Amino acid sequence: MNESEFEDGPDELVTIGVLARVSGLTATALRFYDDCGLLPPARVDGSSGYRYYTRDQRERAVTIRRLREIGMSLDAVAAVLTGGVEVGGRLLDEHVAELERRAHEAAAAAEAIKYTLRAEADPYLVAVGGKEFAEAIGQVRSAAARDDAIAVLTGILIEADADSVVLTATDRYRLTTRSLVPIHAAARPWSLVVAADDLTAPLTRLRTQDRILLSSATDALILTGDEQIRCPAIEEPYPDYRRMLAELTSARTRVVVDRDLLLDATEAAGTQILHCAIETDSIRTAPLPDGPERRIPAAVNGIRTTLAFDPATLSPALRSAVGPEIMLDIAAPDQPVVIRSAAAGDLTTLAMPTRTTTTREDRP
């Protein structure tokens, strides 16, 4: 933009063609901004109709061009030009925030479209949040068997359908199952078992991904984020855990309690068996045989009962729970306790109470 076009001083008038060259606007655009009132010329020749502009109008023309280049409406441009520093600055900030919002929406729409294009070629494709998927693996893996005598029990069962992605692990003595709400669901349901260690290895990378694509290949789980990870499948039938859950004895007592309070009491017991007395409005806990007692407020429906847990069994179930509260479904002191929690998805764990030769006398 050539300042020499105005070399005769700030009051010198120039033609519309000169202003077009130094402002980066076309003569047609300058006529448009004249007609809409944003940039009327300093003088119009009465006989020829030629428009003439001053040096100060060059700066206004450049500002108009820059505002229009970032997508501001004519009304918004007028408000910025007439509103002063404070009003103009606020309007610019609001406009940039709106551009960022729209860019975010456009990026999300583009990702959804790309997913749709891929899903047309792979009906087993499903998308989940990377952080949520990593957390789910961490929550269920402790229930997988360490001993590979039965190889399939060292794995995590992954199931995907139109509504959810479910991860399950069991060593026959414990069972944990976690459901996730997918970002994009699978067009066709599928399931496979992957070694818990193979899913644990990439956890750090998975947590940093906004989303992970899962797909079931013939003999492997394919995880795709910033890179592709192939986890071989364990090709053995997995126990029917749903039937196992369905066949549990019906709960006679249901308790909703603060997870952290019960976890604190459990971990305070150390290696001692934790005695739990379920009362009408609380859980009374104490390490056996004579540890300090705690009373934890709880919502209790059903009969009063007492049972005991090995903290090594109960603590992992409580630590992996989602949300601030847990629900305990208790059938009997010698039956598995179903520990449930929920946020967007849900987590279910079976924890087996322990038999003790030492009892604690209940106190009123």
Give the pLDDT confidence of 333-349 residue by residue, as tens digits: 999 999 999 877 789 99
Q: Are residues 224 and 261 in the same domain?
A: no
pLDDT in tens, 215-260: 998 899 999 888 889 999 999 999 999 998 999 999 999 999 999 9
pLDDT category, 91, cuts 50, 70, 90? Answer: very high
pLDDT value of residue 10? 53
C-alpha–C-alpha distance, residues 32 and 195, integer Å: 68
Instruction: Indicate whether 263 and 287 sit together in one domain.
Output: yes
Kindly tell me if the per-residue pLDDT of 361 is higher than 70: no
pLDDT mean across residues, the chain: 90
Looking at the structure, tell me whether residues 255 and 337 fall in a common domain: yes
Q: In what order do the strands lie in the sheet with 43-44?
A: 14-15, 51-53, 43-44
Strand partners of residue 180:
165
Give the whole-angstrom CA distance, residue 1 versus residue 147. Answer: 77
Within a domain: 144: yes
Q: Is residue 110 part of a domain?
A: no
Phi, psi of 218 (to 5 degrees): -60, -40
Backbone angles phi, psi at 351, to 5 degrees: -125, 125
Rounded-to-integer distance, Cα 263 and Cα 325, Å = 11
- Out of 232, 256, 272, a domain closes at 232
Same domain for 130 and 226, yes or no, is yes
- Domain interval for residue 39: 3-82
User: Do residues 144 and 58 both lie within one domain?
Assistant: no
Would the pLDDT of 119 be above 60?
A: yes
Structure tokens at 2: 């050539």
Report d(CA 235, CA 151) in Å as an integer. Answer: 9
143 and 187 assigned to the same domain: yes
138 found inside a domain: yes
CATH code for the domain in which residue 172 is found: 3.10.150.10
Task: Please tell me the predicted confidence (pLDDT) of residue 176.
Answer: 95
Q: What is the pLDDT of residue 322?
A: 85
Q: pLDDT band for position 1 (50/70/90)?
A: very low
Per the structure, the count of domains in the chain is: 3
Condensed to tens digits (0 to 9), the pLDDT of residues 273-299 reads 999 999 999 999 999 988 999 999 999
Kindly state whether residues 298 and 256 are assigned to the same domain: yes
Contact 355, 283 (CB under 8 A): no
Q: Is 199 exposed, middle or buried (0-12, 13-18, 19+ CB in 10 A)?
A: buried
- Residue 231 pairs in a beta bridge with 221
**What is the token pair recorded at 336?**
């598995």
Q: Does a structural domain hold residue 243?
A: no
